[in-house]
Structure 1
Amino acid sequence: MDALKKGWFSEFSELWPGYVLSLEVEEVLHEEKSKYQDLLVLQTKTYGRALILDGAIQCTERDEFSYQEGIAFLPLCSHPNPENVLIIGGGDGGVAREVAKHPNVKSITQVEIDESVLSAARKYLPFMAVGLDNPKVKLYVGDGFQFMKNHKNEFDVIITDSSDPIGPAECLFEESYFKLMSTALRSGGIICSQGGTAWANLDIVERTLQHCRSAFAKTSYCVVAVPTYPTGQIGFIMGSLNPETNFNEPVKTFTDNQLDDMNMRYYSADVHRAAFVLPRFIEKSLKICGNN
């Protein structure tokens, strides 16, 4: 019954007990303990390079685009004019890479607390880290909480690209964080936060969405497919200060040629709409029927 093999990385977590995802490893490219977390970069056999933080897979070269495009374009295309965007976290650069593609975006401010993640991404994950050096991006190393306290009513969209709600990222799933984001937004502003998977942690999704509801007039939960995340998908918590926002109908759509020009491999208007179509057990549990 013991199928765990030498030469494989296996992700174990108290967030999904009894469940493990494994990647065959060809080489350990980088390993360090930063000020905030354990950091590992692997060359895997079939998923390319992989970034691991505190034992949890953050991204792999083969499927990272679905997460990055989803967390970026779902909120951007729900806002009528997302000129000024704030990214909290996202030290690998993938979210910045995608946000910069949107034609309405003029300025991207990114705040990443762990400088070691930035350095490792630039060296080992250049296909993502290219986003960090986009001319639209202003990058700060620091605490996102403190940054938003000092920047009120500035942003059209805030995207939180965090690790899971355990350890250093746990505070990014609390009510105080959602209320703080609401103060950093301009009128009608929208937020999108990594929201976990309902298949493994429906209770956490429920609680996080409730925190979002305490601060935003309109909220929703949506999902995208990411094969190397627990249960094969990841959810996003979305909130808008505008009660008229209809998340599941994009206000900005692109032609196939435009999507090709932006090198979009996952996102489209149809994928946008489909992301908000949830299985009945999730929909009923989150009590969002008719609330989109």
Structure 2
Amino acid sequence: MDQHLKGWYTERSPMWPGQAFSLKVDRTLLHKRSKFQDIEIFESTNYGKVLVLDGAIQFTERDEASYQEMITYLPLNAHPNPRKVLVVGGGDGGVARELARHPMVEEVVQCEIDKEVIEACKKHVPSMGCGFSNPKLTLHTGDGAKFLEETQDKFDVIITDASDPEVATQGEEGAEGTKDGPAVSLFNEDYYAKMKGKLAEGGVMCCQGENMWLHADLILKLMNGCRKIFPVVDYAYTYTPTYPGGQIGFILCSVDPATNFKEPVREWDHNKAKEMGLKYYNADIHRAAFVLPTFMKNHLSHTD
């Protein structure tokens, strides 16, 4: 499906009906079909290189730090000693890159379903794909939910960096529909229960948590499911201009009832963040990420 119109890439999906987002294309670097999904990488005129999977923008170089740093450091800096980390998904390499920076992380295990995404990012977007050169990393390719079920290891932190459970498709006449994406198994209550079973004592997990303006009901459903499993569940968000609605959220859970996600256990101020080469995350941003607008705070207060 060619979504370029007069030199622009336009993202449309029934997951965010009635709106679209466009980036001007300088040149296409890769467009292919893997076993699991459509993969496209292009150079945009203003946002650097862009990865698109099944018609949905996954990152742009210009604003990816706001997502990659937050999905990594929100959970890690809520854990007193995050030595061993599991990443499910994250085929672009961004989370692995950030984990390499964290001074307390000793071991990273990652399972990504689509090895062609990994290779594409390593070749065409080294600013992201460099994460796979993390010497702490052991990489597996396969279904993340199945890997989680079969592994005997326990982890201090589990991060699920998955695309949306539904992605856009278009028929020959351009009529929009939906199909299950490769990450659909990572958006259900059973998966969260499996994650809990693989967390070590005091363990925490963080999952991509959708957009509050577009998917408040889905977020509430996921949060209520997590509340049945974990003693501590919270929601945070970050601003990413090239994601639908300009915002994306994170669902964070802990097996330790004393966990306070809102207050980082390590205080990385501006100077520390600058020293580490971070672009977005710091302790103030960590705290602010949990300050919800009134409508969302009210919505998430509803329980089953």
Q: Is residue 88–residue 111 contact of structure 1 (8 Å, CA) maintained in 2?
A: yes
TM norm structure 2: 0.91
CA deviations on 1:74-108 (whole Å, 9 max, x unpaired) are 00000010000000000110011111211111001
Alpha-carbon distance between aligned partners in 2 of 1:288 and 1:107, rounded to the nearest angstrom = 38
* 1:215 equivalent in structure 2: 229
Q: Deviation at 1:151?
A: 2.3
- Residue equivalent to 1:60: 60
Alpha-carbon distance in 1 for matches of 2:198, 2:278: 29
Aligned runs of 1:165-180 on 2, under 5 Å?
165-166=165-166, 167-180=181-194
| Partner in structure 2 of residue 123 of structure 1 | 123
**Matched residue of 2:101: which SS?**
coil
Deviation of the 1:254 alpha carbon = 2.1
Residue of 271, 275, 291 corresponding to 1:257? 271
| Corresponding residue SS for 2:191 | helix
1:10-49 alignment, distance < 5 Å: 10-49=10-49
8 Å CA contact 1:47–1:61 kept in 2: the answer is yes
Aligned to 1:276, the other structure's residue is in SS state coil
> Separation in 2 of the partners of 1:282 and 1:257?
32
Deviations 1:34-74 (A, max 9, x none): 01100000111100100000000000010001100000000
Q: Deviations over 1:235-261 (max 9, x none)?
A: 000100011110100011124333222
SS of 1:168's partner is coil
Inter-partner Cα distance in structure 2 for 1:281 and 1:237:
17
State TM-score, norm by structure 1: 0.95
The reply to whether residue 269 of structure 1 matches residue 283 of structure 2 is yes
Query: Quick check: 1:96–1:132 contact (8 Å CA) kept in 2?
Result: yes
Moved more, 52-61 or 128-137: 128-137
Corresponding residue SS for 1:198: coil
Partner amino acid, structure 1, of 2:163: S
Would the aligned equivalents of 2:111 and 2:140 in 1 still touch at CA under 8 Å?
A: yes
2:172 corresponds to: none
- How big is the shift at 1:265? 0.8
C-alpha distance in 1, partners of 2:281/2:156? 21
Q: What is the count of residue pairs matched by the alignment? A: 286
For the Cα contact (< 8 Å) 1:90–1:112, is it kept in 2?
yes
Give the Å deviation of 1:204: 0.9
Local SS of the residue matching 1:260: helix
Give the whole-Å Cα distance in 2 for the aligned partners of 1:150 and 1:83.
21
2:109 counterpart of 1:95: no
- Within a 5 Å distance, the mapping from 1:180-195 to structure 2 comes to 180-195=194-209
TM-fit CA distance, 1:173: 1.1
Residues 136-173 of structure 1, C-alpha deviations (whole Å, 9 max, x = no match): 11111111112111224510000000001212212211
Match of 2:72 in 1: 72
Gaps (5+ residues) in structure 2? 167-180
Deviates more, 1:61-70 or 1:253-262: 253-262
- Deviation of 1:217 (Å): 1.0
| Matched residue, 2:300 | 286
Cα distance in 2 between the residues matched to 1:245 and 1:113: 31
Q: Is the 8 A contact 1:29 1:43 kept in 2?
A: yes
Q: How far, CA to CA, are the matches of 2:16 and 2:270 in structure 1? A: 38
Q: Report the equivalent of 1:161.
A: 161
**Letter aligned with residue 110 of structure 2:** Q
Per the TM alignment, residue 5 of structure 1 is displaced from its structure 2 partner at its CA by 4.2
Provide the alpha-carbon RMSD of the alignment: 1.4
Distance in 2 separating the partners of 1:184 and 1:34: 30
Partner residue, 1:198: 212
**More displaced 10-residue stretch of structure 1: 233-242 or 135-144:** 135-144
SS of the residue corresponding to residue 19 of structure 1 reads coil
Do the aligned residues in 2 keep the contact of 1:192 with 1:238 (CA within 8 Å)? yes
Q: 2:250 is matched with which residue?
A: 236
